[in-house]
């Protein structure tokens, strides 16, 4: 059965991607399986300049999840284009570049740099960062700010723009609709939710930054609810993220209305997690004589 999926103007060989920040630059996982067989990988978030990120402690475990305050450490867009992207292309890996900045101008500059390369399928905007030009409000919390950012990056490149929703927006639906109106080709959802842990012996937060992004299996019901609501509210495809570890998890999100899914924290537990989910969906499609695209939105009330 056919596994290919259409996301706006992009065609993916199958609906399984890996989530930004949980799969390095893709190359690190080649020793475990052929990463080129995934629908795509989303790179670690890329900034205009290289970043070392926060000081340790940067991660902490929680029951069925984790907290991270890595601080968006990355090699910077220039080193990505010259050192990582050519190797990914050689190895036949489909690449989505996840990008972030604290001003619209820097988002645009990163988009322009990536536009000079071939072989980037889409740009995924991480909008869970403060906009320093607007007093530090996160782009992703404000529909107008997110729409303006979407339009500005879209104008800078022919590469499709996907916008990654912050679950902390007062109305994710309003933000997603504004991004759709501004020309986004897809919405990805969701990024982490802020959480924390306290070390009771030291009587202080475990993470050096105090708080961090909460991810992993315990995020799944929240992410699923958001994806289900978004699917009923917007016209562009949704790529679901949040606690997906197994084929069954992925099927829930596809039935909720996602056109594709991203495997995140699960890759830290099993580096083959995304591979297993891809094969699992393929097997499910064979067993039920359905194409992958037939799975999208089967659980939406309107389709019953
Ligand atoms: C260690 C770590 C680093 C992350 N870095 C990024 C990043 O650079 N950009 C981004 O958009 N999301 C980043 N995320 C968020 C994930 O891509 C994903 O949205 C989130 O973890 C929820 O999915 P999961 O529960 O499957 O991990 C990161 C997550 C983790 C755990």
Q: What percent of the chain has pLDDT over 90?
A: 96
CA of 19 to the centre of ligand 1 (A): 6
Kindly give the pairing relationship between strand 59-62 and strand 212-215.
unpaired
Question: How far apart are the C-alpha atoms of 177 and 142, rounded to whole Å?
Answer: 11
Question: How far apart are the C-alpha atoms of 253 and 183, rounded to whole Å?
Answer: 24
Query: What is the number of helices (H) and of strands (E) in the chain?
Result: 9, 18
What per-residue confidence (pLDDT) applies to 301?
66
Cβ-in-10-Å burial (0-12, 13-18, 19+) of 95 comes to buried
Phi-psi region of 80 (alpha: psi -120 to 50; beta: other; left: phi over 0): alpha
CA of 241 to the centre of ligand 1 (A): 9
What per-residue confidence (pLDDT) applies to 134?
84
CB of 120 within 8 A of CB of 159?
A: yes
| Averaged pLDDT for residues 118-143 | 92
β partners of residue 131? 137
What per-residue confidence (pLDDT) applies to 135?
85
Question: Which residues' Cβ are closer than 6 Å to ligand 1?
Answer: 19-22, 44-45, 68, 70, 72, 98, 126, 164, 191-192, 213, 215-216, 219, 241-244, 264-265
What per-residue confidence (pLDDT) applies to 290?
98
* Superfamily of domain 5-45+72-193+217-303, CATH level 4: Aldolase class I (3.20.20.70)
Kindly give the pairing relationship between strand 238-241 and strand 186-189.
parallel
CA of 304 to the centre of ligand 1 (A): 33
pLDDT band at 130 (very low <50, low <70, confident <90, very high): confident
Atom of ligand 1 nearest to the CA of 216: 25
Q: Which residue has the higher pLDDT, 134 or 90?
A: 90
pLDDT band at 133 (very low <50, low <70, confident <90, very high): confident
Q: What is the pLDDT of residues 68-113, one digit of tens each?
A: 999 999 999 999 999 999 999 999 999 999 999 999 999 999 999 9
| Averaged pLDDT for residues 133-150 | 93
Q: How many CB atoms lie under 10 A from the CB of residue 210? A: 13
How many alpha carbons fall within 13 Å on the CB side of residue 152? Answer: 15
What per-residue confidence (pLDDT) applies to 304?
53
Whether 146 is catalytic:
no
Please tell me which residue in 129, 146, 179, 285 is annotated as part of the active site: 129
What per-residue confidence (pLDDT) applies to 303?
53
Average pLDDT over the chain reads 96
């Amino acid at each position: 059965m056919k596994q290919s999926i259409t996301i706006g103007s992009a065609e993916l060989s199958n609906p399984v991607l890996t989530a930004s920040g949980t799969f390095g630059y893709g190359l690190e996982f080649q020793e475990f399986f052929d990463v080129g067989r995934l629908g795509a990988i989303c790179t670690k978030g890329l900034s205009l300049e290289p970043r070392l990120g926060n000081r340790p402690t940067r991660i902490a475990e929680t029951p069925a999840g984790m907290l991270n305050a890595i601080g968006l450490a990355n090699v910077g867009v220039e080193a990505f284009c010259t050192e990582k992207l050519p190797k990914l292309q050689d190895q036949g890996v489909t690449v989505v570049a996840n990008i972030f900045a604290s001003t619209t101008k820097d988002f645009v500059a990163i988009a322009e740099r990536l536009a000079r390369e071939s072989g980037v399928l889409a740009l995924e905007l991480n909008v869970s960062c403060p906009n320093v030009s607007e007093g530090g409000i996160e782009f992703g919390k404000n529909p107008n700010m997110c729409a303006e950012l979407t339009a500005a990056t879209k104008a800078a490149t022919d590469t499709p723009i996907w916008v990654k929703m912050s679950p902390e927006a007062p109305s994710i639906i309003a933000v997603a609709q504004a991004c759709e109106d501004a020309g986004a080709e897809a919405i990805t959802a969701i990024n982490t939710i802020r959480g924390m842990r306290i070390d009771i012996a030291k009587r202080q937060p475990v993470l050096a930054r105090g708080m961090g992004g909460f991810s992993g299996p315990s995020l799944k019901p929240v992410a699923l609810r958001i994806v289900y609501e978004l699917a009923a509210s917007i016209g562009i495809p949704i790529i679901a993220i949040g606690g997906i570890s197994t084929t069954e998890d992925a099927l829930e999100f596809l039935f909720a209305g996602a056109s594709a899914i991203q495997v995140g924290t699960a890759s830290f537990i099993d580096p083959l997690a995304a591979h297993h989910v891809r094969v699992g969906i393929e097997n499910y499609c064979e067993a039920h004589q359905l194409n992958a695209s037939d799975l999208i939105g089967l659980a939406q009330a309107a389709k019953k």
